[in-house]
Amino acid sequence: MPTYITLMNWTDQGVREYKDTAKRAETFGAAAQKMGAKLLNIYWTVGPYDLVAVVEAPDDETATAALLHLGGAGNIRSTTLRAFDRGEMERIITKATG
C-alpha cells in the first residue's frame, strides 16, 4: 500500500488543547481505518513541525480523505508527502532507464 508522510503543525486551537493530543491521534487512527487507511505511527516532534504521521492508504484519494478529515477538526495544518519504499524506487528506476 502507498505510504504518506504528513508533517503537521498545531493551529492556535490545537495548541490550546494540547492535553488532548494523544486522544486526538487515537481518534484519527480510528477514523482513517474506517476510510480504508492506516495510521502506522505518529510522532510528536521538536523543530519546525509539531507532529509527523506515517499513513498507509490504498490510493491518493483515500489518503486525502483521511487527512482532510483530520484537518477539518481545526487542530492542525498539514503538508503530506508521498513516500516510496525501496521496491517502489527500484521499479521507478527501471522505468526511467528503460
Q: How do residues 34-52 score in pLDDT, each as one tens digit?
A: 999 999 999 999 999 999 9
Round to whole Å and give the CA distance between 64 and 83: 14
Judged against a pLDDT cut of 90, whether residue 98 lies above it is answered with no
Residue 64: per-residue pLDDT: 96
Round to whole Å and give the CA distance between 4 and 15: 24
Judged against a pLDDT cut of 90, whether residue 15 lies above it is answered with yes
Strand partners, 52: 7, 43
CB 2 within 8 A of CB 63: yes
Residue 62: per-residue pLDDT: 97
Residue 58: per-residue pLDDT: 97
Name the residue among 3, 87, 2 with its Cα closest to residue 52: 3
Model-wide pTM > 0.75: yes
Question: Confidence class of residue 82 from pLDDT cuts 50, 70 and 90?
Answer: very high
